[in-house]
């Protein structure tokens, strides 16, 4: 019996508009956020570059891609946003894009119809004038429990926040960063700073507890789905850089990349990237179209892309030999970002459990 076609067939290809956006973002990052610039900045207390954020968020308009035009945004979708994250992942760029333009923005979008305060804050985020961060630990998966009182540890991009979205037992609040205590913590990935956040009791109430729970879940689901695109971009850079290096590096009067053992390793990694690209694009497309399969495709993308990004970064370090281990080479930055991303918004095992539950698989006895 022939199965009926889905209402919205998945589209895994990139449109001309998306490729134009990619070219603009890549040109900006190449000019303003090369790896040497990044290596220099992470030596400072703050790796963020406010001028770069303005260029990306406001001048290119990337911060408002998910926001409808009537609310001050660009009226694009998760597909275009995913392209931006692929480029940010390639460059391991230290910008609070995932935190503010995806997780916080999606959370506010769920509340904008019923809350003037949420709609007003959303317009500020879409214009790139304000950075908002959801005050939950970086490892929080969609649907997982998180602290509703007291200090919140490991809040990603907290040092860059102007406003915190703080979930409490009685709802969701917007708390200015000036009214919160932000204590930096030492992260593995220096390009995505972490901090312990203690928000004040006050703030502007955006939603009651039920609406807040739904909005936060939407923000985290979109964040997890689009994080896969960041991981894809990082993995693609690792493979491209490894292929380039092994072509140029010679031993025994031959490029080291011509040795069969290394060719097999890079070919297998290329195959893994093909799968990762399909998984990440499927998640972005499902989020963009509001597909009921979005939770499943997000879990699949995270379960697959997390492992692929880590393996690509490990291979990049290994196949660069000694130079890959040095502070001067960006391969180690890619590996730290990949390992940090592996537990961000839910660890791989949690997403695998989610897949099993969503498709009705019984756990092994």
Phi-psi region of 94 (alpha: psi -120 to 50; beta: other; left: phi over 0): beta
Lowest mean pLDDT across 30-39, 63-72, 196-205: 30-39
| N residues, the chain | 365
* pLDDT for the residue 102: 98
> What pLDDT digit, counting tens, does each position of 30-64 carry?
999 888 888 888 777 778 888 999 999 999 999 99
Lowest mean pLDDT across 6-20, 154-168, 228-242, 310-324: 6-20
Lowest mean pLDDT across 49-53, 252-256, 264-268: 49-53
Q: Where are the domains of the chain?
A: 213-359
Instruction: Residue 310: name the closest of 262, 263, 344 by CA.
Output: 344
Lowest mean pLDDT across 17-21, 30-34, 131-135, 354-358: 30-34
Confidence category of residue 364, pLDDT binned at 50, 70, 90: low
Note the pTM of the prediction, 2 decimals. Answer: 0.95
Instruction: Residue 199: name the closest of 170, 164, 169, 160 by CA.
Output: 164
Q: If you average pLDDT over residues 339-354, what whole number do you get? A: 96
For residue 317, give the 3-state DSSP assignment: helix
Per DSSP, the chain holds a count of helices (H) and strands (E) of 11, 9
Question: Which of 19-28, 192-201, 248-257, 353-362 has the highest mean predicted lDDT (pLDDT)?
Answer: 19-28
pLDDT at 222 over 60: yes
Q: How far apart are CA 206 and CA 164, in angstroms?
A: 12
Structure-block tokens of residue 53:
């954020």
> What pLDDT digit, counting tens, does each position of 125-148 carry?
999 999 999 999 999 999 888 888
* pLDDT for the residue 10: 85
* pLDDT for the residue 2: 42
- What is the side-by-side strand order in the sheet with 204-207? 132-134, 163-168, 171-176, 204-207
Q: How far apart are CA 63 and CA 70, in angstroms?
A: 15
Q: How far apart are CA 216 and CA 220, in angstroms?
A: 6
pLDDT at 1 over 80: no
Give the CATH fold of the 213-359 domain: Butyryl-CoA Dehydrogenase, subunit A; domain 3 (1.20.140)
Between the alpha carbon of residue 16 and those of residues 9, 30, 80, the distances in Å are 19, 21, 11
* pLDDT for the residue 158: 96
Instruction: Residue 82: name the closest of 9, 19, 129, 155 by CA.
Output: 19
In the chain, what percentage of residues exceed pLDDT 90? Answer: 84
Confidence category of residue 276, pLDDT binned at 50, 70, 90: very high
* pLDDT for the residue 365: 61
Phi first, then psi: give them for residue 67, nearest 5 degrees: -95, 130
Instruction: Residue 102: name the closest of 222, 217, 229, 211 by CA.
Output: 222
DSSP state string for 207-246: E-HHHHHHHHHHHHHHHHHHHHHHHHHHHHHHHHHHHHHH
* pLDDT for the residue 146: 85
Q: How far apart are CA 179 and CA 177, in angstroms?
A: 5
């Amino acid at each position: 019996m022939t199965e009926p076609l889905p209402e919205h067939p998945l589209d895994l290809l990139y449109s001309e508009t998306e490729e134009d956006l990619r070219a603009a973002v890549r040109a900006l990052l190449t000019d303003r956020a090369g790896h040497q610039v990044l290596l220099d900045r992470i030596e400072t207390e703050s790796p963020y570059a406010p001028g770069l954020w303005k260029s990306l968020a406001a001048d290119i308009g990337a911060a408002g891609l998910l926001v409808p035009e009537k609310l001050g945004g660009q009226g694009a979708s998760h597909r275009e946003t995913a392209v931006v994250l692929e480029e940010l992942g390639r460059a391991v760029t230290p910008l609070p894009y995932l935190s503010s333009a995806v997780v916080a923005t999606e959370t506010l979008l769920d509340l904008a119809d019923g809350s003037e305060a949420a709609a007003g804050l959303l317009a500020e985020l879409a214009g790139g004038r304000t950075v908002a961060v959801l005050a939950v630990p970086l490892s929080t998966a969609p649907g997982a429990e998180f602290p509703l009182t007291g200090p919140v540890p490991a809040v990603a991009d907290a040092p860059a926040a102007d406003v915190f979205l703080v979930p409490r037992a009685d709802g969701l609040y917007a708390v200015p960063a000036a009214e919160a205590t932000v204590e930096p913590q030492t992260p593995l990935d220096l390009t995505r700073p972490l901090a312990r956040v203690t928000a004040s009791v006050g703030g502007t109430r955006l939603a009651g507890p039920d609406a807040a729970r739904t909005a936060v879940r939407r923000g985290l689901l979109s964040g997890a789905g689009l994080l896969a695109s960041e991981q894809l971009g990082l993995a693609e850079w690792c493979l491209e850089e490894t292929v380039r290096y092994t072509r140029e590096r010679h031993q025994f009067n031959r490029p080291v990349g011509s040795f069969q053992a290394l060719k097999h390793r890079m070919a297998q990694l290329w195959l893994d990237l093909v799968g990762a690209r399909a998984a990440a694009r499927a998640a972005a497309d499902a989020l963009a179209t509001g597909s009921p399969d979005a939770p499943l495709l997000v879990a699949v993308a995270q379960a697959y892309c997390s492992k692929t990004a880590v393996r690509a970064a490990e291979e990049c370090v290994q196949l660069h030999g000694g130079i890959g281990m040095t502070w001067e080479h960006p391969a180690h930055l890619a590996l730290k970002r990949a390992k940090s991303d592996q537990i961000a918004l839910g660890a791989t095992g949690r997403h695998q459990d989610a897949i099993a539950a969503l498709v009705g698989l019984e756990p092994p006895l």
